Chains A and B, each alone.
Chain A
Amino acid sequence: MSVDVSGVTRWYGNVVAVNDVTMTLPPGVTGLLGPNGAGKTTLLHMIAGFLPPSRGTITAAGQRTWRNPDLYKVLGLVTEKEAVHGFLTGEQFVVASARLHRLPEPERAAARALDLVELADPRKRKLSTYSKGMRQRARLAAALVHDPQVLLLDEPFNGLDPRQRMQMMTLLHDLGNRGRTVLFSSHILEEVEQVSGTVQVMVAGRLAASGDYRTIRRLMTNRPHVFAIDSSDNRRLAAVLIGDPSVRGVSLGEDGLEVSASDFGTFTRVLPGIVRREGLRLRRLRPADESLESVFSYLVGAK
């Protein structure tokens, strides 16, 4: 396997950032999905050799990663932090990267990489004049100038406009199809859906789910949902709802009901009929737990 993470834990003082994570990444594109603070960056930095695991082992392309600069012959990293040497032009920046990799023809390699990220035109401009999206792509060009076997990207779609986003997705796809191992992190479901078939979901430092995107998507839509409901007679509605098989629990509060449904689809189909039959009027109905965090924490429980 191209990247092997085995029993890896990382803590900072008392805080566990990554908790006993094991994963193997084959060639192709894998999305590392999780809410902010889940430990994605920490894991990426460990795979990239910029952080030692507190416990466990990591190899990338068969090499250990910590304190091993030779790793970067086969690995490229695009960090989330968008710092660049602003006084260099895009071209100088990528050529410098090629030279530091001791590539035989640095100018040609740089030109190819700049082409790949569609920065050939503004290559003579200083990086300090680039937009956020352009800087992101310049850093990507610098990271793949040596055509690495393993490419790691931390939130690569941040700050890109929709067109650039599509283009970045196509690029990652192509790299995956050419047998490169690409791992990118994201906290946005749709990004991962469009780029990669394989997903690793991290929540609170743990690997919550991994595998095919569709499987995970199904887990996410079929999960129990909580709704906040207000009607003309909440007590009566509660009494009726608790009798319905699609409802797991009802609690009566000051501003209405909190209903937890066992199945999103069934409950939303049944509810209008019940309300009409009882002669009630619905004042408010909204899902109470649609935040990404709640989806993720459901996955942790489902594991």
Chain B
Amino acid sequence: MNATIAMITLRGLFGRRRFLLLFVLPVLLVALTAFAASSDVPAIEWSGTLLDALGLGAVVPLMALLVGIGVLGNEIDDGTIAHILAKPLARGEIIQAKLLVAVGASALVVVPAMFLVGELAEGPSLAFGLAVGSLLAVIVYSAIFVAISIVSSRPMIIALGYVVLWEGFLGNFVGGTRMLSVRHYALSLADSVSGSDLLTKQVSLPVSLVLAGVITVGATLLAVDRLRSYQLAGETG
């Protein structure tokens, strides 16, 4: 990995006060779960909402979105990307460093939060399942959001639209889209690993893993190719 790019990316990410916002949602999720677990309501009543819909469906993708766009989209937005691109570096090397930082930073926040949620809801096996499932989601999402950063000039809007409409909404109502939903891959992996009754996978594990791999690789290759063709816009003629 290119340590210099990773260093600049990390500092760019953590240097913004916005980064503190990243911790709000996971903390909220853990607090809500702790509150629900301490009540008399059985876990099966609220696990679908908290673990799946709110956890895997909202907190995980939103964290990956903020970080994924932060590692590349911000540099494209303010033009500093030109300093990194005007170097004799294979574009794959740049994307690799960005992606590793994105996955690392998102996982740092998301995986422990989901582990805690699982622990509070049921116990260690669910905790482990959700940790592994959310890690898978973070990897696939990061690849998608890094790619969106460079493909679109309005990455935030496109990415939010994708998370809310595709992952959050369509996946619940239109059966076919589940096959192409990162949230369902994560759910499938978490369910298979934990064997918990609180989770119900709707896509089989092998299909989930293969499709997750295909999407990750595809999005990464797309990002590398688009970065190779990156065009600088002039302010004047």
Contacts and interface: CB of A to CB of B under 8 A. Distances in A.
Interface in A82-135: 83-85, 87-88, 96-97, 99-102
B228 A67 contact: yes
A80 B80 CA distance: 12
A8 interface: no
A246 interface: no
A38 B230 CA distance: 22
Interface string B204-233: 000000000000000000000000111110
B15 interface: yes
Contacts of B4: 96, 99-100
Given A69-B91, A101-B88, A38 B235 contact: no
Contacts of B85: 50, 69
A73 B88 contact: yes
B230 A71 contact: no
A19 to B, nearest CB: 12
Given A67-B229, A88-B8, A100-B4, A36 B236 contact: yes
Contact of A79 (B91, B231, B232): B232
A85 B12 contact: yes
B87 A101 contact: yes
A17 interface: yes
Interface stretch (A40-48, A169-177, A229-237): A40-48
B176 interface: no
List 7 A-B pairs, minimum CB-CB distance, nearest first: A41-B234, A37-B237, A83-B79, A50-B232, A100-B87, A87-B15, A99-B4
Interface of A: 17, 34, 36-42, 45, 48, 50-52, 67, 69-73, 75-77, 79-81, 83-85, 87-88, 96-97, 99-102, 139, 142-143, 154-155, 205
